[in-house]
Structure 1
């Protein structure tokens, strides 16, 4: 008798094995998909990280560029348009379309004016296609980044040396000075203008309450400015300091700056001098070297005006025209001032003697000491000083300008005071890059 039981059992075992193999195949398939998903997730996460880093850098660059460009234009609408255009240009340059297959989108740049402060907001996204993660049902991912840049308000006085040594390059100096002013906002930055030679002149006073400055008027004033006379650093700084201090304390900007430009060494000192002939003369004496003949007297508040009457000193001081002694303090503006030492000042030795060649030596040394003391007082009040030196016909002193700016390599560097920038222009062709460097650094610290 035939039986089918063993054959049925065999078929059942075969079917079971086949089912098991199918289940294993399905499980293996799921495992492969899962593994691909894990690998894809790691790969795509890495790509997203790189995209995010690049996007962050692009919006940061755009925000900084916009903060600098917001100074362009005479109205807030023009300045907003300039900032947005700069943001777009810098974003596109730093994040090109198609980077890692992504599609970038820059949102409209936010530009908010709040009195003297401008806040720039830049944000963007990049839609990045996914690769292996698609097996999990995801096709792309949007990466976002944002950056904010704040341009602080600025109070600045621009001080220009207009001495006679500038004659060969004067037209180029004025042109570059005007270009320098284009870097600052006429609606939010306060700017004052001073020029000096034998004395110091406040050409355009800084505004004391309202923000902004009349840039066209200031540039016209510079274009029409003449040159001639000696070099009186102290009066240039005095006028700049007076302008900054004229702003009420509660209304002063968070960033206060003096930009000081010269091509020579100071050689003139103004003070209230008691003369041998029982006369008093408030004016400047010039000594072009420690051993030269002292000349005077010059008005301390005019570019190059020789005083007359009691102060009629002539080309060389002698006899009753010579001071009895050097004043103890810098007191040209007020005979009772005792803020800045003349006699006993530093770093150069100054005595009270005016006998023989001592007058020239003491005037020459004090002409350097006093502006250094003024610069230190300004920095102690939080004012940044930026200096620019043009190598020319004026007996140039780079160390002096470094010390005034308090650069880290200055001999008299004070780490407790703000450190500015000194730029050296070896020739007239280096003047424009130097002005650009100073403007760039001022805008950098204003952010």
Structure 2
């Protein structure tokens, strides 16, 4: 824990069912200030696990040589109550794993995560120049993964490699390092496939019994930032805009947008025009300033232009700098025969589509980043849409008949 920079757990994640439920953009853990003299998985620190039979106790690290018993430990230095967790693999505790399980409950896919933490070498052992390394990997799963789960992906850039070395090959601890040997580690993890809503991510550290003797090594001040935008590790942008949509509704146009996080965000301005290169501001809403977490905004254009018009969202920072969304188009002339999407009572993943058109039409379903998630469906004037095969989330429904096209969005649950 570095001063007052981090809180034990940022109030953006809830604990349920054995994992940290992620509902917004970031997670922080500094392991607190209470000495941990016993360990229970998912209780001592909610969502955290260690491999069975490895807990060796709590160590107060001074310059004296610490315990030479292998195992998983909690630590502090010079009695300062600043807790850390870590290990020393040896003997019967030759493979030690510990980590945290997240569950994506943002309502959106997670495309990447940036992991940052501080690694501490807390002792020098007679390691005979054998490099001690705490490796990092992750597991993505539809079910709650065990701390020993296989099918993992390694992240070498997040590995914690020893800082100090002894050329002596032996079986003893030489000295303690009371939190004065550390390294800050950070890297982005871009998932090969976006993590769907309600899926799990196990972030795990592994310590093996190296040749000769092993050091005590620990972690602290973990921060994990989750990217919901589709741009890998884009956490430094002023805002993370998830979506901006304009849809005919009644006699006007409904405007919706959502952000995953905002930084120094002063305001949003909605612009409109009949020509893409000539848009004028029509609506404005205050931004959230600096905010970590999902926010949804809605506005309404009650006097829309006839025919095809274009809308764009402008974001204004506190320093006056700006950023822009993509253009979206609306054709008011076709809105009177709009797409009606009605949920069915059998569940939140069944819908009935009505277009008002005569004859068959084609239905396509896309996710939030424009990927088609089902094969095209052809139907008559009314169509039941079964979305039980797609993950929970928001989807774009597009219907086509000849040169006509309508679209709408649905929120799928299971």
TM-score in terms of structure 2 length: 0.24
Higher radius of gyration, 1 or 2: 1
Q: TM-score, normalised to structure 1's length?
A: 0.23
Return the structure number with greater relative CO, CA threshold 8 A, min gap 6: 2
